[in-house]
């Protein structure tokens, strides 16, 4: 009886160790069934990599290779879409001790290597044995009875160390209960991949309409290629612990044309999601551009803006000050204007044909995320033929923190057509308008706007007096 008990215990122990012993398996891109990537405009991407893996019941070590080099291992999630409860991750390791000449040599410090040099007389290589003593600041060898610092020959290594890998790899200790091949879906975040929107606007001759094209630029430096991938882009200000990394690349230019949009847009949480209507390949170390939207004959309004500054109210100025008049374009993001898609933040570059029909660059500006039915304004440059000049005509300190100040602003139009100048003045503190030659609109508690018609080849003077306390 005692022998039977010992035999049962021994068999149970053997069975336990057999089940606990991990069988080593490897999964590469050849096992990949599907890959999807969602790219955020904050230098991060979410990768979902589905692969067919044949796992028998028990514990296995699975090397999941061909992942992004800039993966964040703390974000990895693996699951079985067939039966989530059948798979359990016991351990996870991220192997990034990648194969390189320096890493390879470091593994052979203190070991025997061979050095091969070309014999100029025999035209054959002479091979000598050596001990690699160090790789710090240069290679040091023990050859025979001498120490050699550096060597002109090739270094021959006897084998490839087992603890060096050629590419970043996730290594899982998995316990599974399924006895058939199944798809494993690994999800993780990686840095080094980013996208941004760029826009091209081509003005008509009268500056009243524009052809508007939006471009998506994807910059992949994540250390992986995503072949035939489902692609989604997320636009919005997502909070991340690490600071956002900006891209600085120029977009391609193309005239707007009719056609089905490539991206499908939808609201997602407090952001907007843009899904490509087809699959695409995003290669490592590649910049890829795709059209986001194409809209022709979009109404545009050109604005001339003369902007003041709070400093003119706090100090006495006895001299006349010339100021530039800014040129802005204003568009309304509505369906009736042939737009009507939430526009991700990006740079808008504006072009216009000259009299010879050649397209010329006239300016650029950056817009923020712009919802549907909102206006957006971009500064294109400074007006050449419109001049503004400011004079502080009076300055009084009536009491502590109580002031009265008067201005005269001279606006001169040397253009061949009449225009309207929007004179915007940032009045500080609690203020009261005492007198004014032109009507104004209160845009906010501390910003007013005078809308000043300015005939061709004429000068118009705007005067106003304000009292304020701060």
DSSP calls for 338-393: T--SPBPSEEEEEEEE-TTS-EEEEEEEEE--B-TT-EEEEEEEE-SSEEEEEEEE
Q: Which residue has the tokens 């230019």?
A: 253
Q: Which residue has the tokens 């949480």?
A: 269
Same domain? For 91 and 185 the reply is yes
Cα separation, 354 vs 362, whole angstroms: 11
The encoded tokens of residue 204 equal 């008509």
Report the candidate in 104, 32, 102, 91 with the shortest Cα–Cα distance to residue 67.
Answer: 32
Domain-embedded: residue 397? no
Domain extent at residue 113: 101-156
pLDDT digit string, tens, across residues 256-282: 445 567 899 898 888 889 999 999 999
Domain-embedded: residue 60? yes
Q: What does the pLDDT average to over 20-43?
A: 86
Q: Which residue has the tokens 């391609």?
A: 252
The per-residue pLDDT for 56 is 86
Domain-embedded: residue 230? no
Same domain? For 120 and 26 the reply is no
Same domain? For 42 and 118 the reply is no
pLDDT band at 94 (very low <50, low <70, confident <90, very high): confident
Same domain? For 31 and 152 the reply is no
Cα separation, 389 vs 449, whole angstroms: 16
Domain-embedded: residue 185? yes
Q: Which residue has the tokens 């309409």?
A: 209
Same domain? For 118 and 27 the reply is no
The encoded tokens of residue 448 equal 């007013």
The most confident of the ranges 53-57, 125-129, 264-268, 447-451 is 447-451
Report the chain's mean pLDDT, rounded to a whole number: 87
pLDDT band at 458 (very low <50, low <70, confident <90, very high): very high
Same domain? For 186 and 74 the reply is yes
Q: What does the pLDDT average to over 234-257?
A: 55
Residue 16 has pLDDT above 90, yes or no: no
Domain boundary among 130, 156, 182: 156
Same domain? For 149 and 54 the reply is no
Please state the φ and ψ torsions of residue 7, each to the nearest 5 degrees.
-65, -40
Domain-embedded: residue 461? no
Same domain? For 47 and 129 the reply is no
What is the CA angle 456-460-462, rounded to 5?
Answer: 150
Same domain? For 37 and 59 the reply is yes
Domain boundary among 137, 156, 175: 156
H or E segment at 311?
helix 311-314
Instruction: Look at 311 and 370; give whichever has higher pLDDT.
Output: 370
Same domain? For 53 and 172 the reply is yes
The per-residue pLDDT for 3 is 47
pLDDT band at 427 (very low <50, low <70, confident <90, very high): very high
Same domain? For 93 and 108 the reply is no
Domain-embedded: residue 33? yes
Number of domains forming the structure of the chain: 2
Percent of the chain with pLDDT strictly greater than 90:
61
Question: Which residues, including other chains, have CB under 8 Å from residue 256's CB and lie 6 or more apart?
Answer: 202, 211, 212, 213, 294, 295, 296
Domain-embedded: residue 171? yes
Same domain? For 150 and 27 the reply is no
The per-residue pLDDT for 68 is 93
Residue 11 has pLDDT above 60, yes or no: no
Domain-embedded: residue 394? no
């Amino acid at each position: 009886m005692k022998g039977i008990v010992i035999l049962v215990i021994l068999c149970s122990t053997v069975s336990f160790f057999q089940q606990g012993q991990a069988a080593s398996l490897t999964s590469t891109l050849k096992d990949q069934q599907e890959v999807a990537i969602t790219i955020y405009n904050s230098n991060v991407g979410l990768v979902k990599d589905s692969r067919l893996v044949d796992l028998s019941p028990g514990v296995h070590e699975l090397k999941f290779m061909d992942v992004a080099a800039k993966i964040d291992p703390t974000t990895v999630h693996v699951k079985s879409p067939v039966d989530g409860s059948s798979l359990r991750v016991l351990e996870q390791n991220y192997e990034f001790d990648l194969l390189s000449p320096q890493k390879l040599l470091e593994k052979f410090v203190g070991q025997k290597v061979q050095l091969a040099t070309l014999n100029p007389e025999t035209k054959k290589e002479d091979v000598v044995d050596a001990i690699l003593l160090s790789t710090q600041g240069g290679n040091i060898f023990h050859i025979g009875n001498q120490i050699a610092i550096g060597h002109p020959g090739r270094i021959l290594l006897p084998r490839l160390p087992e603890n060096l890998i050629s590419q970043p790899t996730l290594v899982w200790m998995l316990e599974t209960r399924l006895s058939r091949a199944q798809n494993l879906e690994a999800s993780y975040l990686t840095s080094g991949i980013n996208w941004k929107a760029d826009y091209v606007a081509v003005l008509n001759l009268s500056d009243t309409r524009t052809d508007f094209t939006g471009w998506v630029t994807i910059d992949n430096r994540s250390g992986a290629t995503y072949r035939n991938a489902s692609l989604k882009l997320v636009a919005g200000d997502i909070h991340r612990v690490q600071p956002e990394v900006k891209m600085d690349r120029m977009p391609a230019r193309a005239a707007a044309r009719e056609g089905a949009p490539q991206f499908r847009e939808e609201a997602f949480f407090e952001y907007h999601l843009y899904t490509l209507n087809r699959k695409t390949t995003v290669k490592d170390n590649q910049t890829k551009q795709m059209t986001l939207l194409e809209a022709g004959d979009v109404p545009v309004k050109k604005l001339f803006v003369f902007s003041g500054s709070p400093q003119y109210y706090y100090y006495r100025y006895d001299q006349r000050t010339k100021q530039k008049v800014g040129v802005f374009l204003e568009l309304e993001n509505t369906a009736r204007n042939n737009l009507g898609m939430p526009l991700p933040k990006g740079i808008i570059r504006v072009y216009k044909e000259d009299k010879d029909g050649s397209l010329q660059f006239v300016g650029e500006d950056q817009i923020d995320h712009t919802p549907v039915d909102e206006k957006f304004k971009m500064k294109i440059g400074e007006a050449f033929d419109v001049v503004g000049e400011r004079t502080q005509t009076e300055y009084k300190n009536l009491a502590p923190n109580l002031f009265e100040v008067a201005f005269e602003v001279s606006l001169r139009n040397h253009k061949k057509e009449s225009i309207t100048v929007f004179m915007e003045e940032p009045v500080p503190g609690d203020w009261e308008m005492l007198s004014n030659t032109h009507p104004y609109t209160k845009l906010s508690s501390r910003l007013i706007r005078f809308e000043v018609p300015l005939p061709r080849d004429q000068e118009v003077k705007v005067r106003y007096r304000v009292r304020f306390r701060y």
